[in-house]
Amino acid sequence: MPSPREPLGILIVDDDDQMRKTIGDILALKGYASLAAPSGRLALEVARSVPRALAIALVDLRLPDMDGMELVSELRAISDATEIVVLTGNATIDSAVRALREQSYDYLIKPVQPARLLESIERAGERWQRRRAEAAMRESEERLRRIFEHVSDALFITDDTGSIIDANPAAAAFTGCTLDGLRGRSLRDLLQAAPPDASQPPDAAAARAMRLTGELRIRGTDGTLRIVDTRSAEFAPGLVVHTVRDLTPQRRLEEELHHSQKMDAIGRLAGGVAHDFNNILTAIGCVSELVLASLDASDARRAEIEEIRRAARRAAALTRQLLAFSRKQVLQPRVFDLVHVVEDIERMLHRLIGEDVHLTTEIPSHLWPVRADPGQLEQVIMNLAINARDAMPNGGELAIVAANVSLTAPQPHEHGVVVPGEYVVLRVRDTGSGMNAATRAQIFEPFFTTKPPGKGTGLGLSTAYGVVKQSGGHIVVESEVGVGTTFLIYLPRADSSAVIVDTPDTPAPDPNRTATILLVEDDQAIRTLARRILAGDGYVVLEAPDGEQAVRTAEAHGAMIDMLLTDVVLQGMNGRELADRLRVAQPHLTVLFMSGYTDDEIVHRGVLDLRHSFLPKPFTPAELRRKIREVLGRPAAVT
């Protein structure tokens, strides 16, 4: 029963002022709050102002501006929850029938006893509260249903036997079944457990699978492995709701990030090793060349020295591949059309892959320009073609296709993510034996190979990976055992207005010219060998182990220095900083940089551009002499 603390909103509609006051006083004595209106129009204004709070309307059938039953219809239109009690002194059969049709709660005839009026008000109030509670329940259920249907996680409701009695659309999408197809099925059978993860104790994994809680590895209805997080809660006696969140995309991205970090770590290690190793190889190569030059052609020792030189060259080739993988090699990028690169090597590819492999190329003429090192890109294509040939020992199809592609969203793959942008995509596809997931995960790591011992170094694909990444691109592998392999190389589109740069021919210098060279190298063995080679050619050689000593040596020399031959990486100041400092006093100083590798902070911030020259280590005496003559024949760069 309503109490004074929980008043019902009651509207009294009667044109008799005394009647409105009398009824209002009776209701007030019982704790009811009431509003009054002398006409139908004013009653509608009151009802519109408090539509949800109006519980009961006491309506006289005879009103000055409208028929009472007409007012009842209008009140119903404002709030169908309001209970109607007809109170009239002109009762007729017709009005009683109309009140019944309007689903009025009661029909009272004046004069009415206060007790009878209060009893009708009480019961109408109870009915209004009950209907309001039912409406709130329906609204709550509808809200929960909308949440249930639109939540992104898969939701299953099971009975105490584990059978599914309801599921949401996300569950249907997750399982590939219709909602009707899910009802009645066992949730445990639906979430088929995959083979246990070797990293987890078998008993722990089995316990979680029995409870259907925690992180589980399941086998989807399509046979694919999925990693899901499941949670269960009993929300009613005998009813359990299970939340299943698919973690597979998240875990895949985590694995890709881990793999990318591992590749970067290996790259840093490989780059550091190659840098130090190139210094050693420079010494070995130069010494072997100098010893060979000092021996007669008939000297029996020449064969051993030749073998040392060949071994040094093979080691140098390996270090170049390591530098390519670590993205610390010195590229010579320029803007070019990919069509010309493929056309130039197509004939060579036919010889490489043999007659039993059918090669097709599809390179449209309208490709966007790209900026990369054409020679290194040719090497990448050749490495992929050789691998494709080895994967097709009995012959097959090799296709090289290129296309312009615009990506508007990130494209995740096993080894990273291709960021949105405009690319020229080179697709190299074969019909060979293909690779499984474990092989694909390691395919770009240095020295990883599936070939028999002696058949490969395992550096071909790691080199391709480094060249493409250093060119600002991405390399993606798609492969399936027994189907074949496709490599996709994404090269960023270059500015179409960029000038295609070709290195001009170098004029031959006067061989009789005597030049002064300041040699700066922190490796004593290389410094000694370079000085010996240059002095033997008639150059005046000044030397220093670092930048500070080089500045002091130049100042002590006093005269003009023709060339600065310096390592890029030095203690204290780097080679570029040394060159800038020396050019303050000698603005026309010619500079030749050398290094076993050049890291991005130095290469791409001014040391290597079209105005400068670079000699990569390891180098031979002949290469050093040729580069010195070439650079001395150029006008000095002005910075």
Query: What's the pLDDT score for residue 400?
Result: 93
Instruction: Return d(Cα 216, Cα 196) in angstroms, integer.
Output: 9
CB 427 within 8 A of CB 478: no
State whether 550 and 590 are in the same domain: yes
* CATH number of residue 169's parent domain: 3.30.450.20
- DSSP codes of every residue in 209-258: HHHT-EEEEEE-TTS-EEEEEEEEEEEETTEEEEEEEE-HHHHHHHHHHH
Pick from 255-269, 403-417, 500-514: least confident? 500-514
State whether 268 and 159 are in the same domain: no
pLDDT band at 203 (very low <50, low <70, confident <90, very high): very low
Pick from 118-132, 196-210, 359-373, 469-483: least confident? 196-210
Q: 373 lies in a domain?
A: yes
Query: What's the pLDDT score for residue 187?
Result: 84
State whether 32 and 67 are in the same domain: yes
Instruction: Return d(Cα 338, Cα 316) in angstroms, integer.
Output: 29
Pick from 214-223, 459-468, 470-479: least confident? 214-223
Q: Hey, what amino acid is at 467?
A: V
Q: Does the structure show a pLDDT above 50 at 4? A: no
Work out how many domains the chain is built from and give that number.
Answer: 5
Report, as an integer, the average pLDDT of 600-614.
52
State whether 349 and 477 are in the same domain: yes
Residue 135 CB partners (closer than 8 Å, separation 6+):
81
DSSP class of 82: S
State whether 367 and 479 are in the same domain: yes
Q: Does the structure show a pLDDT above 50 at 502? A: no
Q: Hey, what amino acid is at 138?
A: R
Q: 505 lies in a domain?
A: no
State whether 348 and 475 are in the same domain: yes
- Looking at mean pLDDT, say which of 176-185, 197-206, 557-566, 569-578 comes out highest: 557-566
State whether 135 and 161 are in the same domain: no
Instruction: Return d(Cα 181, Cα 63) in angstroms, integer.
Output: 60
Name the phi and psi angles at 259, rounded to 5: -65, -40
Q: Does the structure show a pLDDT above 90 at 518? A: yes
DSSP H stretches of helix in 295-367: 302-325, 338-353
Percent of the chain with pLDDT over 70: 81
Q: 497 lies in a domain?
A: no
Query: What's the pLDDT score for residue 271?
Result: 62
Count of residues in the chain: 639
Pick from 54-58, 339-343, 610-614: least confident? 610-614
Q: Does the structure show a pLDDT above 80 at 234? A: yes
State whether 521 and 611 are in the same domain: yes
Query: What's the pLDDT score for residue 550?
Result: 94
Q: Does the structure show a pLDDT above 90 at 253? A: no
pLDDT band at 457 (very low <50, low <70, confident <90, very high): low
Query: What's the pLDDT score for residue 403?
Result: 93
Pick from 61-75, 309-323, 385-399: least confident? 309-323
State whether 225 and 208 are in the same domain: yes
Domain that holds residue 403: 334-492
Pick from 13-27, 123-137, 167-181, 249-263: least confident? 249-263
Q: Does the structure show a pLDDT above 50 at 12? A: yes
Query: What's the pLDDT score for residue 546?
Result: 92
pLDDT band at 569 (very low <50, low <70, confident <90, very high): confident
463 or 274: whose pLDDT is higher?
463
Q: 1 lies in a domain?
A: no
Q: What is the tens place of the pLDDT at every residue in 471-497?
A: 889 999 999 898 999 999 999 998 765
State whether 385 and 295 are in the same domain: no
95 or 468: whose pLDDT is higher?
468
Query: What's the pLDDT score for residue 486?
Result: 94
Q: Which of 117, 146, 175 lies at the terminal end of a domain, its last residue?
A: 146
* CATH number of residue 27's parent domain: 3.40.50.2300
CB 187 within 8 A of CB 161: no
Average pLDDT, the chain: 80
Q: 511 lies in a domain?
A: no
Report, as an integer, the average pLDDT of 395-415.
90
Query: What's the pLDDT score for residue 476?
Result: 92
DSSP H stretches of helix in 361-436: 374-390
Q: 500 lies in a domain?
A: no
> 125: left (phi > 0), else alpha (psi -120 to 50), else beta?
alpha
Q: 502 lies in a domain?
A: no
Report, as an integer, the average pLDDT of 110-121.
88
**pTM to 2 decimals?**
0.44
Query: What's the pLDDT score for residue 235?
Result: 78
State whether 307 and 171 are in the same domain: no
| Torsion sign over Cα 175, 176, 178, 180 | negative
Q: 498 lies in a domain?
A: no
425 or 219: whose pLDDT is higher?
425
State whether 26 and 161 are in the same domain: no
Report, as an integer, the average pLDDT of 604-615.
56
Pick from 42-46, 114-118, 284-288, 546-550: least confident? 284-288
Q: Which of 288, 307, 325 lies at the terminal end of a domain, its last residue?
A: 325
* CATH number of residue 386's parent domain: 3.30.565.10
Q: Which of 426, 458, 492 lies at the terminal end of a domain, its last residue?
A: 492
Other CB atoms within 10 Å distance of the CB of residue 473: 21
